[in-house]
Amino acid sequence: MRAATEGIPHRSVELCGMACLVAGREDLHALLSRLRDLAGFESVTFITGVDHLASQSTEPRFEVVYQLLSIQDNQRVRVRVPLRSDDARLPSCVDLWPGAGFMERECYDMFGIVFEGHLGLKRLLMPEDYDHHPLRKDFPHQGIEPDRLYREWDRKRRKDTPFAAGAGGAR
């Protein structure tokens, strides 16, 4: 792995017995590409966000964590990228691992982190016009009406679905 990451700015740490690389946004795509092509990490097992709002008072607020797997070597590595709250965006890695598309969409939906170059970046779990990102630490747990919002979204979804009326559609 050391040879694969040579020349790409990053910091290596070990967390819970797993290799972890911390890189900047501008170096992320090159680092991921080299880990896939030169170090044998052919699979991305998860992409997720972390909101450090309550645990630190300064930026960077967010962190995106990638976990890669080398099936042949039975090795895992995590790549962590810190992001400022006023510029929470990263290059997409869908061109490297097409299956990462849904993980990036979930991260966008839950944290509001934008993956540039992702052609289908839209909400995955929440309605498109939902104003919040539920896994952010400043998510308003009071004062919003999720049931009302869901009913409005479901009513619109059913109206726009051609199968809503007819065999088995109306209930």
Q: Which domains does the chain have, with CATH numbers?
A: 2-124 (3.30.460.80)
Closest CA to 156 of 116, 122, 127: 127
User: Is residue 8 within 8 Å of residue 27, measured between CB atoms?
Assistant: yes
Letter string b/e over residues 34-48, b meaning 16 or more CB atoms within 10 A of that residue's CB: bbbeebbbeebeebb
Q: E strand or H helix at 22, and its extent?
A: strand 18-22
Q: Residue 151 CB: number of other CB atoms within 10 A?
A: 11
The series of mean pLDDT values per 10 residues for the chain, 171 residues long, is 89 90 97 97 97 83 97 96 96 97 97 96 88 87 70 82 56 46
Angle at 8 between CA 7 and CA 9, to 5 degrees: 115
CA neighbor of 90 nearest in space, from 64, 124, 126, 109: 64
Q: What is the pLDDT of residue 25?
A: 96
Unique residue bearing structure tokens 């966008």: 108
Amino acid identity of residue 84, one-letter, is R
Q: Mind listing the pLDDT tens digit for each residue in 140-163?
A: 776 676 677 778 878 888 887 776
Contact 105, 46 (CB under 8 A): no
pLDDT attached to residue 166: 53
Residue 163: the pLDDT is: 65
What is residue 146's predicted lDDT score, i.e. its pLDDT? 66
